[in-house]
Amino acid sequence: MAPNAVVLHVSTAMAHLPYVPGYAAYQVSKLAAVRVFEHFGVENREKGVRVVHYHPGLYRTEVGKMTEGLGMPFDEIDLAGAFAVWAASGEADFLDGRFVWAAWDVDALKGMRGVLEGDRGLFTIGLVGFPGN
């Protein structure tokens, strides 16, 4: 792995949701992948490697269509790529180890830099309320 490499893990919002009938295997595999990449990132942090997990957006795919009744808007097709370019830049280095959504306001994320740097648990997946955390 090249020093200071950036790994962009394209995941899904489904990793955050409770059980969705018919999508259990998809959800669990995406959640497991988040954990694999989290461990990879921690193991390679000393080399300057950073990992950003992100939900690329909601698109009119077979999986995406299941959300039509939830009132969630579909995203523009170029959102995921544009977000990836920014997330890989040095400007987004504070997102290391975080799970973010491409549709979130980039300026608002940048405004949270100090908060995120002070709390390694924000925008991550884990057990909330574990003693000692």
Catalytic residue chosen out of the listed positions 11, 23, 54, 65 = 11
Catalytic residue chosen out of the listed positions 19, 23, 29, 30 = 30
Of all helices (H) and strands (E), which one includes residue 53? strand 50-55
* Closest residue by Cα to residue 99 from 91, 108, 109, 89: 109
11 is catalytic: yes
Catalytic residue chosen out of the listed positions 19, 23, 26, 65 = 26
- Cα separation, 26 vs 32, in Å, equals 10
26 is catalytic: yes
The CA distances from residue 56 to 14, 50, 94, in Å, are 11, 18, 19
Number of Cβ atoms within 10 Å of the Cβ of 70: 7
- Cα separation, 7 vs 107, in Å, equals 22
List the catalytic residues.
11, 26, 30
